[in-house]
Amino acid sequence: MLDVYVPKRELFNNDTQEFIEIQGTKFTIEHSLISLQKWESKWKTSFINKKDLSSEEFADYVRCMTVGKELPMEIYQNLGSANVAKIKKYIDDPMTATTFRSAQQSMRHKNEIITAELIYYWMIEAGVPFECEKWHLNRLLALIRVCNVKGSSGKKMSKREIMRENAALNAARRKASGSKG
């Protein structure tokens, strides 16, 4: 979770030609699977695969990440550059000490579109409980990846290796049973 403070400001609304006063506001955000699915249900696009968010999309994602009561949209639209940088750093933070050795172990396929539903599927496949949907998203993805790496039997054998192993097993069985064929 991250606490964000937007200081009190007075802004000019070009549409209404009036000054608006934004009260100083402190709120907490959480970059989680729940936030992701809220945002994707509105924008109908993958958040993870999206290269550059517009300022409107970013403000709305911050709204989706807000823990507790939503605030007026003007607060999210006027975060200021320091808050935006702080929030982006929080979103990019791995939130874990776990590291992976190679890109080959990645869950992602190059052209795969990753959505909240796909991540929920990964959670189900890996046996990750749904309570983890509240975790920081990067930490959840790392856990799913660890489950995939640890759950796999390791390197797949080639056809030649399989045939060699089967031949050795058959020879051992023939020897044990005293059979010639």
Query: Which tens digit of pLDDT belongs to each residue from 76-117?
Result: 888 889 999 999 999 999 888 887 776 544 555 567 888 999
Number of domains forming the structure of the chain = 2
The pTM (predicted TM-score) of the whole model is: 0.73
Do 61 and 25 lie in a common domain? yes
Q: CA-to-CA distance for 74 and 59, rounded, in angstroms?
A: 9
Comparison of pLDDT for 109 and 152, the residue scoring more: 152
pLDDT value at position 32? 94
Q: Is residue 180 part of a domain?
A: no
Are 76 and 107 found together in one domain? no
Domain match, 18 and 38 both: yes
137, 30 in Cβ contact below 8 A? no
- The pair of structure tokens assigned to 181 is 């064929």
120-146: pLDDT as tens digits: 999 998 889 999 999 999 999 999 988
Q: 24 versus 65: which is more confidently predicted? A: 65
Domain identity same for 115 and 82: no
Q: For tokens 């172990």, what's the residue?
A: 105
Q: Which of 70, 92, 114 is the last residue of a domain?
A: 92
C-alpha distances in Å from residue 35, one per residue of 95, 110, 120, 165: 16, 24, 13, 49
Q: Which domain holds residue 107?
A: 103-151
Does residue 176 lie in a domain region? Answer: no
Q: What percent of the chain has pLDDT above 90?
A: 44
Give yes or no for residue 27 having a pLDDT over 70. Answer: yes
- How many residues make up the chain in this entry? 181
- Alpha-carbon distance of 181 to 172, in angstroms, equals 12
Residue 72 within any structural domain of the chain: yes
